[in-house]
């Protein structure tokens, strides 16, 4: 990325309504210029700024995997002016993408270890990217057992249904998909993510835990992860709070001396323990 402020032009190739409340939509984007596609060299865990002329830009985690060639995927919650404008755009419309930005999950350091992935609600986006990348035939042998615990309030609020249903049919990943309480359209697991994680009881020996979710889920998942025996250095979390410029200039997202956009958004729990509770 030669100019960090310059977005790449992209076309909206497909819009997917992900949730029953229609507030979460995924946008599959295709670069207008093939050389921009090659230049956008990203790794799971990174994010990008989605740019809309006349409205501004928003930082969004990259939900696609680098192994999915030819497009990028972003899932956007309709919460403000830019995201609302994006939700009103149609397939074929042109917009911009600036990035990739931030640090990724330490995939190289995780090789040879079991992986436990814990996600809640909308925060599963970059973990979708990570799982897709690890399950790719070129990468699967690099990792041990993969456990995936993912939950939402209702069946209609679960993202990426086609993906996790396909993962449930594989024998090289153990998905635990849960909703918070009983629902007539659901015959799967019922219970909050921390309780389901404790029940799944994935081993912590030679394992790494990736945890991403709403603050309340994080609050009640941390004691479970600790009870399971994970060291703070082996618990990896992604923060997305208050990011704006994406390159550590505006100073909006700092937590103590660290900028979430530039020094994160991926941090170990050991690193977060050294920072003020401002996230």
Per residue, the 3-state secondary structure of 29-60, as one string, reads: EEECCHHHHHHCCCCCCCEEEEEECCCEEEEE
Secondary structure of residue 18 in the 3-state scheme: coil
**11: exposed, middle or buried (Cβ count in 10 Å: 0-12, 13-18, 19+):** middle
Query: What's CA 1's distance to the chain center, in Å?
Result: 22
Using alpha carbons only, what angle is made at residue 112 by residues 209 and 199, rounded to the nearest 5 degrees?
Answer: 35
Q: Give residue 246's pLDDT.
A: 66
Token digits of residue 248:
């550590």
Residue with tokens 């992604």: 238
Q: Give residue 6's pLDDT.
A: 87
State the DSSP string of 158-203.
-S-HHHHHHHHT-SS-EEEEEESS--TT--SEES-HHHHHHHH---
Q: Give residue 275's pLDDT.
A: 73
- Rounded to whole angstroms, the Cα distance separating 238 from 256 reads 16
Q: Give residue 265's pLDDT.
A: 79
- Rounded to whole angstroms, the Cα distance separating 37 from 228 reads 41
Return per-residue pLDDT of the chain as tens, 279 residues.
567 778 999 999 999 999 999 999 999 999 999 999 999 999 999 999 999 999 999 999 999 999 999 999 999 999 999 999 999 999 999 999 999 998 889 999 999 999 999 999 988 999 999 999 999 999 999 999 999 999 999 999 999 999 999 999 999 999 999 999 999 999 999 999 999 999 999 999 999 999 998 888 988 999 999 999 999 999 998 876 666 766 666 667 677 777 766 776 778 888 878 776 665
147-172: b or e for each residue (b if 16 or more CB lie within 10 Å)? Answer: bbbbbbbebbbbbbeebbeebeeeee
Q: Give residue 53's pLDDT.
A: 92
Per 3-state DSSP, the chain is made up of helix, strand and coil in percentages (nearest 5) of 25, 30, 45
């Amino acid at each position: 990325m030669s100019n960090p402020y310059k977005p790449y032009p992209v076309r909206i190739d497909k819009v997917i309504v992900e949730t029953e409340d229609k507030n979460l939509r995924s946008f599959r984007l295709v670069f207008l210029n093939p050389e921009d596609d090659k230049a956008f060299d990203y790794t799971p865990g990174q994010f990008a700024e989605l740019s809309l002329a006349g409205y501004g830009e928003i930082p969004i985690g990259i939900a696609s995997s680098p192994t999915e060639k030819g497009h990028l995927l972003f899932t956007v919650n309709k919460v403000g002016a830019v995201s609302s404008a994006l939700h009103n755009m149609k397939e074929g419309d042109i917009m911009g993408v600036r990035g990739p930005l931030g640090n990724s999950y330490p995939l190289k350091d995780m090789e040879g270890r079991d992986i436990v992935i814990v996600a809640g609600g909308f925060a599963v986006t970059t973990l979708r990217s990570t799982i897709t990348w690890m399950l790719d035939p070129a990468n699967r042998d690099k990792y041990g057992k993969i456990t995936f615990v993912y939950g939402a309030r209702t069946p209609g609020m679960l993202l990426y249904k086609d993906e996790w249903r396909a993962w449930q049919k594989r024998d090289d990943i153990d998905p635990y998909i849960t909703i918070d309480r009983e629902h007539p359209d659901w015959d799967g697991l019922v219970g909050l993510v921390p309780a389901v994680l404790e029940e799944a009881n994935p081993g912590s020996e030679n394992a790494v835990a990736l945890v991403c979710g709403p603050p309340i889920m994080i609050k009640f998942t941390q004691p479970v992860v600790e009870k399971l025996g994970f060291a703070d250095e082996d618990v990896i979390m992604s923060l997305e709070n208050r990011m704006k410029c994406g390159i550590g200039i505006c100073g909006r997202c700092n937590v103590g001396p660290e900028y979430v956009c530039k020094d994160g958004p991926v941090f170990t729990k050991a690193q977060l323990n050294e920072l003020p509770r401002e996230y």
